[in-house]
Amino acid sequence: MIPRYSRPEMVAIWEPESKFQIWLDIETYACEAQAELGVIPAEAVDAIREKGSFEVARIDEIELETKHDVIAFLTNVAEYVGEPARFIHQGMTSSDVLDTCLSVQLTRATDLLLAGMDRLLAALKTRAEEHKMTVCMGRSHGIHAEPTTFGVKLAQAYAEFDRNRERLIAARMEIGTCAISGAVGTFANIDPAVEEHVAKRLGLEFETVSTQVIPRDRHAMYFAVLGVVASSIERLSTEIRHLQRTEVREAEEFFAKGQKGSSAMPHKRNPILTENLTGLARLVRMAVVPAMENVALWHERDISHSSVERMIGPDATVTLDFALHRMAGVIEKLMVYPEAMQKNLDQLGGLIHSQRVLLALTQAGVSREDAYQFVQRNAMRVWSEGASFLELLKDDAEVTAAVSAAELDNLFDMAYHTKHVDTIFRRVFGEG
């Protein structure tokens, strides 16, 4: 988590002040429930609500001696609350506070991720509709295949990120649980009603069964989802990077006035944002395997997961939050060049229509094997000689014996490839 790739809104969730405030909220809500159960006096809760506070520097100072962050926190709170502080943390263990706090932080982080996702989806939809019928080259293996539209490319990205939005919602639910169950999770020293009260106050669900810690399969799934979202960002970034190559140049990142490309070559306009996003995606995915390895804790609890989560929690959410907004900005300002797209469509002398010719020949009674041979031998001449594919086909007696010259002309109609674009858009956007 470094300022260069961080948004303040997300960083704030992980600041010590935010964390300790959540801790204080958890302890206060637990005391509320304990008072309702008659475990602690109601006036003690009033004092805790009124006087409860902390100072980050003081907690750090105490922890130097205690070597325990929760105890250091409780000691500092007691300095503010006074005698009633003896009722704080009744029947609770450190994991109750730490795990529930992490759940709060991750759900709040997910809300910001969803906001970033919504911005990206809106940008993709706007640009997809703008270029719905902007015909461009479709590629397989990086090689010219058949025509598609740039709008369809963006619609595909929209559908992918729409799925990712649903995954994030599910991940939020998965991680949004509270555990206030005491040592080894038996509720021996604290009533389950306390857990239910704290969960309700924090907007969480209570954990059905905990082993002193919230089960880490939840966290593993959460970070796996973040990794998938990051991979989708990389996929879209890679597409833009390829389209920006000089020899392609069908689209490119916005290049601002005064912006510099290369320190050595003044002519350069480099895809720096999408290259950066490719790297940021790797950082988010870096959290996935450690999160999965955290699932297998010893018996009812150990803390081998703790150091991992203290790092991957902020790093993965802050990085992905930044990446979503950067990706949205790229799409919002993306420069699209239909003329270059048409130039590339025309580059191979009509070879992009080879499948239509193949299918027409088979429909006319030619075997698939012969039809493939007839089309390919002419296609290879286009590759080597730069000739017109259509003219070569018209000069091929075996081809014209099955398909007339007029029929061949019709097979080279570009509109054929866009006839179902409206259908695709209805499937993606559900409109019209």
pLDDT at 365 over 70: yes
**Of 74-78, 255-259, 288-292, 293-297, which range is least confident?**
255-259
Q: Alpha-carbon distance 176 to 103, whole Å?
A: 5
Q: Report which of residues 262 and 428 the model is more confident about.
A: 428
Please state, in angstroms and as integers, the Cα–Cα distance from residue 204 to each residue in 102, 111, 195, 196, 197, following that order: 12, 14, 10, 9, 10
Q: What is the mean predicted confidence (pLDDT) over 61-86? A: 97
- pTM listed for this prediction: 0.95
Q: Three-state SS for 382?
A: helix
pLDDT at 397 over 60: yes
pLDDT at 432 over 70: no
Q: What is the pLDDT of residue 259?
A: 84
Q: What is the pLDDT of residue 161?
A: 98
Q: Using 50, 70 and 90 to split pLDDT, how confident is the model at 73?
A: very high
Q: Evaluate whether 374 touches 361 at the Cβ level (below 8 Å).
A: yes
Radius of gyration of the CA atoms of the chain, in A:
30
Q: Evaluate whether 344 touches 137 at the Cβ level (below 8 Å).
A: yes
Per the annotation, the verdict on 384 as an active-site residue is no
Catalytic hit among 141, 263, 267, 384: 141
pLDDT at 1 over 90: no
CB atoms under 10 Å from CB of 318, counted, come to: 24
Q: What is the DSSP string of 300-361?
A: T--STTHHHHHHHHHHHHHHHHHHHHHHHHHHHH-EE-HHHHHHHHTTTTTGGGHHHHHHHH
Q: Which long-range contacts (CB under 8 A, 24 or more apart) does 32-37 make?
A: 32/197, 32/201, 33/191, 33/193, 33/194, 33/196, 33/197, 33/198, 34/87, 34/90, 34/91, 34/190, 34/194, 36/193, 36/197, 37/191, 37/193, 37/194
Q: Where are the beta strands (DSSP E) in 186-272?
A: 205-206, 251-252
Q: What is the pLDDT of residue 419?
A: 96
Give the tens place of pLDDT for each residue, 17-51. 999 999 999 999 999 999 999 999 999 999 999 99
pLDDT at 431 over 80: no
Q: What is the mean predicted confidence (pLDDT) over 273-287? A: 97
Catalytic hit among 53, 68, 262, 420: 262
Q: Evaluate whether 81 touches 52 at the Cβ level (below 8 Å).
A: yes
- 64 is written with which tokens? 């130097």
Which residue in 104, 24, 110, 102 sits closest to 59, CA to CA?
24
Q: Using 50, 70 and 90 to split pLDDT, how confident is the model at 260?
A: confident
Q: What is the dihedral of CA 268, 273, 278, 281, to 10 degrees?
A: 160
Q: Where are the beta strands (DSSP E) in 107-142?
A: 135-140
112 residue type, one letter: L
Strands 177-178 and 143-149: what pairing? unpaired
122 residue type, one letter: A
Per the annotation, the verdict on 262 as an active-site residue is yes
Q: What is the pLDDT of residue 262?
A: 77
Residue that has been written with the tokens 């070569």 in this structure: 392
Q: Three-state SS for 143?
A: strand
Q: Evaluate whether 402 touches 365 at the Cβ level (below 8 Å).
A: yes
For 129-166, b/e burial (b = at least 16 CB within 10 A) is eebbebbbbbbeeeebebbbbbbbbbbbbbbbbbebbe
Where do the domains of the chain lie, and which CATH numbers do they carry?
1-90 (1.10.275.10), 93-348+418-432 (1.20.200.10), 351-411 (1.10.40.30)
Give the tens place of pLDDT for each residue, 149-164. 999 999 999 999 999 9
Q: What is the pLDDT of residue 12?
A: 98
pLDDT > 90 fraction of the chain, expressed in percent and rounded: 95
